[in-house]
Amino acid sequence: MLTAYPRPGATIPRVTEEADGLKSALWIDLVNPTPEEIRAVESALGIELPTRQDAEEIEISSRLYAENRTLFMIVTVGVGADTLHPTTTPVTFAYQREHLVTVRFAEPIPFATFSRKLRKSPLSYPTAQKVLLGIMDEIIDRVADVLEGVANDLNRVSDLVFSLAGGGPKRHARVDFTEVLARVGLNGLRAANSRESLVSLSRVLPFFSEACPASNGEPLDDHWQSVGKDIVSLTDHATFISSKVNFFLDATLGRINIEQNTIIKLFSVLAVVFLPPTLIASIYGMNFERMPELRWVAGYPLSVLLMVVAAILPYLLFKRKGWL
């Protein structure tokens, strides 16, 4: 789909493939574009847009370059952070002094949010650089929201993993640690996607700051400094969140190990407790002729009492040692 956003005060329609309309557009947004839409934009602006395969390259030279007074920047943006399958998608920015072209193959929330802002207050974004800054701000804000959500969910996970009751460790029989592990892993993936997005943004900033004045002779907007500070602070926060995810992952695995050890200890104690009664029952279950206890009137109750005492004594010993 091709969407062309006009300059403030212009009368071109939002959706157009006419050459004149594309040449006068401030921002051209391509979402899963067809070959015809790609050719129309390339012909109108005299550029060659990177293919999807080019956008997925990881080399800096393939993601950031200048060609024919056009700056090409490929940014990684998170998609589906609120779902169970968060991922990332490459977004291509083709920047000219008079035009901004974006090519994407998904629907990241920042683009939908910014397009609404642009329609409501077009005078706030009179130039292509202002539009680019607006999109960058929305991407950064979205990353901040995702990291905040991850931090909040990890705090809820902490209540499950480290909860206390009655001054001692709480039994976690009702806690589904499989679900806890899934939540920790999901938050780790969200944090990793956020860091990947911030890394790509941190590469774009110095490239644009150097290439824009050199290529177009256009002064940089002062807001780029604020964008740079936001990227640095969020990168540090994302690093902290990632370390927190690793901590909760280790803690959850530790709790699972403790629960398993508790179960194994219980079975071991039960085996030791019932071992002496089993030994007594085995002795008196042997079929020898000369076993005087078999003829005693009180033989049966005495043997039962002996087995009970043999079971209670190990239990009391373990209790005194603090093993139970």
Q: How confident is the model at residue 141 (pLDDT cuts 50, 70, 90)?
A: very high
Q: Sorting pLDDT into bands at 50, 70 and 90, what band is 11?
A: low
Give the per-residue pLDDT at 166.
38
Q: Is the pLDDT of residue 142 over 80?
A: yes
Q: List the domains of the chain with CATH numbers.
A: 2-259 (3.30.460.20), 261-321 (1.20.58.340)
Q: pTM to 2 decimals? A: 0.77
pLDDT over 60 at 319, yes or no: yes
Mean pLDDT score across all residues of the chain? 83
Whether 318 shows a pLDDT value over 80: the answer reads no
SS3 letters for the chain?
A: CEEEEECCCCCCCCCCCCHHHHHCEEEEEEECCCHHHHHHHHHHHCCCCCCHHHHCCCCHHHHEEEECCEEEEEEEEEECCCCCCCEEEEEEEEECCCCEEEEECCCCHHHHHHHHHHHHCHHHCCCHHHHHHHHHHHHHHHHHHHHHHHHHHHHHHHHHHCCEECCEECCCCCCCHHHHHHHHHHHHHHHHHHHHHHHHHHHHHHHHHHHHHHHHCCCCCCHHHHHHHHHHHHHHHHHHHHHHHHHHHHHHHHHHHHHHHHHHHHHHHHHHHHHHHHHHHHHCCCCCCCCHHHHCCCHHHHHHHHHHHHHHHHHHHHHHHCCC
Examine the pLDDT at 60 and tell me if it is beyond 70.
no
Residue 172: pLDDT band with limits 50, 70, 90: very low
Q: 12 or 302, which is more confident?
A: 302
